[in-house]
Amino acid sequence: MVGIAKHSAYVPRLRMSRTEIARAWGRASSDEGEVAVAKYDEDAFTLAVEAALTCIESMPQPPGALLFASTSAPYFEKQLSAFVATVCDLPRKTLCCDFGGSARAGLQALVAADAMIKSGRVDSCLVAAGDSRPALPESEGEGVLGDAAAAFVVARDQVVAELVGSASVSEEFTYFWRTAASPFVSGYLGKFSQTHGYVRDMAEAINALLAEAGLKPKDIAKLACHAPEPRAAVDLARKLGLDPKEQLGPLVTSAIGSAGTAECLLALGAVLDEAEPGQWILAAAFGEGADAILLRTTALVAEGRAGNPWKHWLDAKQHLPSYQKYLKYRGMFRDNEGGEVITNVLEHKELAQNVRLHGSRCKSCGMVQYPMAQVCISCRMAGNTEEVRLSRAGTIFTYTMDYLIPNVEHPLPMAVVDLEGGGRLYLQVTDFAEGEVDVGRPVTLTFRRLHEGGGNYNYFWKARPVR
């Protein structure tokens, strides 16, 4: 049996209300919802890393392959699946592949993982999808697009939902797009795109899958789907003969905005959070056609969630105080003075400690140090250390508030963090609200963009309060 063994989600803490966006441009808004907003040090890559780390830390063995999906990756030429694998401290032999091009790339990666395992190439595969798609200010897309990530482990063992089958439809139909010359996503929002594009293609793929499996609409417990606009998902459910109130899974678009490649996977994870053994579940995503998969939950379905459930991410939020702050975090006002250039020579030299989060442990007294050292600072023994992966969980030992550092927001907390199992790091603190930075505060290490230099992005670990 091949299917989903673990699944996780990550939604940025920040939110921007659609009403506030409309008010900034003097428009009326009938939608009182909100969109999830990546912080200035987050992007599609770091979002996916956060979800992937949660899954990896729940696995007994590392996966044989890692697939990364995104339409808004921070690099046009650079294999980010390999970068995600390195941050997750996976072996060099791990097979890595990138997927992109449309919002259905996340589900396509899941289908590819299933095929990869059934072919015998690997025994398990981690799929990580993340998107942070920018919309042009004052465009409709500002209130539609949201930022988030999801990760799934597909494996042969400990399966919580068997992947029974899949179906695809492919044909050119322009709905959302972003050219190489533009940083912003554009789209033809409206009824025609929904009916002649989304509903038509999604229904065709799902109906083909149901016919192949010999199932009727009433046999389906839930449909988890990517929906560029909430109304489109309701129209799709009715087209399929499903009851939107009972059989349609959570609408990610309504809750946090359309999350691109991660959206269908987020909806599927939310459905699995509430699923019971033996249920049939559909998942589908759209983009110049559609892909659909059919799953059957097992007796282990309650054990599939890694990390916090979907409902937690909806509640763990902090509203941006103004539209101007939203634009600032989107990089619209940012003065990019450029930071230190990190050459590949220096990156290679410090890859283990700066990306893989390795420290050194003294074999004589057990002292754990970061950065790695050859001489133990506790027992003074030289040349008797071993390289170890550090924990991401820790507490703030002490901190200071820096008002002078060049940064998007001030003040910036700088903290000394003691990690569980040993190791002490001096790090920036991110994702904090007033009063959340204090001595003894539990924190989690998160991999974030540190600065830009030499036309390249430089990433490092930061601390964020546990939420």
Percentage of the chain modeled with pLDDT above 90: 85
If you average pLDDT over every residue of the chain, what do you get? 95
> Whose CA is closest to 435, among 410, 413, 408?
413
Mean pLDDT for 76-104 is: 98
For residue range 246-281, list pLDDT tens digits in order.
999 999 999 999 999 999 999 999 999 999 999 999
Least confident of 5-9, 31-35, 239-243, 300-304: 31-35
CATH superfamily of 3-329: Thiolase/Chalcone synthase (3.40.47.10)
Q: Which residues, 6+ apart, have CB-to-CB distance to 60 below 8 Å?
A: none
Q: Residue 334: its pLDDT value, please?
A: 62
pTM reported for the whole predicted model? 0.96
Q: Does domain 344-357+392-465 have CATH number 2.40.50?
A: yes
Report whether 204 contacts 169 (CB < 8 A).
Answer: yes
Q: Residue 337: its pLDDT value, please?
A: 54
Residue with tokens 């409206």: 190
Higher pLDDT, 72 or 453: 72
Residue 338: is its pLDDT beyond 80?
no
Mean pLDDT for 316-345 is: 82
Percentage of the chain modeled with pLDDT above 70: 98
Q: Where are the domains of the chain?
A: 3-329, 344-357+392-465
